Amino acid sequence: MSGNTAGTWAAAPDPELASLTRSTTAVIRAAIPVAGLRDFFDASFRVLPQVLAAQQVNVRSPAFGRYHGMAGGTLDLEVGFVTDRPVRSQEGVLAASLPGGRCGRLTHFGSFDGLESSWRRLQAWIQGQGLSVSPQRWEFYVTRPTPEMNPQDLRTDLTWPLAD
- Give the per-residue pLDDT at 146: 73
Q: Do 55 and 86 share a domain, yes or no?
A: yes
Alpha-carbon span 103 to 17, nearest angstrom: 6
- Give the per-residue pLDDT at 103: 97
Model confidence pTM above 0.95: no
Domain carrying residue 59: 23-98
Cβ(20)–Cβ(3) under 8 Å? yes
Q: Do 9 and 60 share a domain, yes or no?
A: no
Q: Do 64 and 83 share a domain, yes or no?
A: yes
- Give the per-residue pLDDT at 71: 67
Q: Which residues of the chain have pLDDT under 70?
A: 1-12, 71-72
Q: Do 40 and 74 share a domain, yes or no?
A: yes
Please count the structural domains in the chain: 2
- Give the per-residue pLDDT at 54: 98
Residue 62 sits in a domain of what CATH number? Answer: 3.20.80.10
Indicate the helix (H) or strand (E) that contains 40. Answer: helix 37-54
DSSP state of 26: E
Cα dist. 23→29, 37, 52, 97 in Å? 17, 24, 16, 5
Q: Do 115 and 60 share a domain, yes or no?
A: no
Cβ(58)–Cβ(35) under 8 Å? no
pLDDT tens column, 90-126: 999 999 999 999 999 999 998 888 888 999 999 999 9
* Structural domain ending residue among the three candidates 54, 74, 98: 98
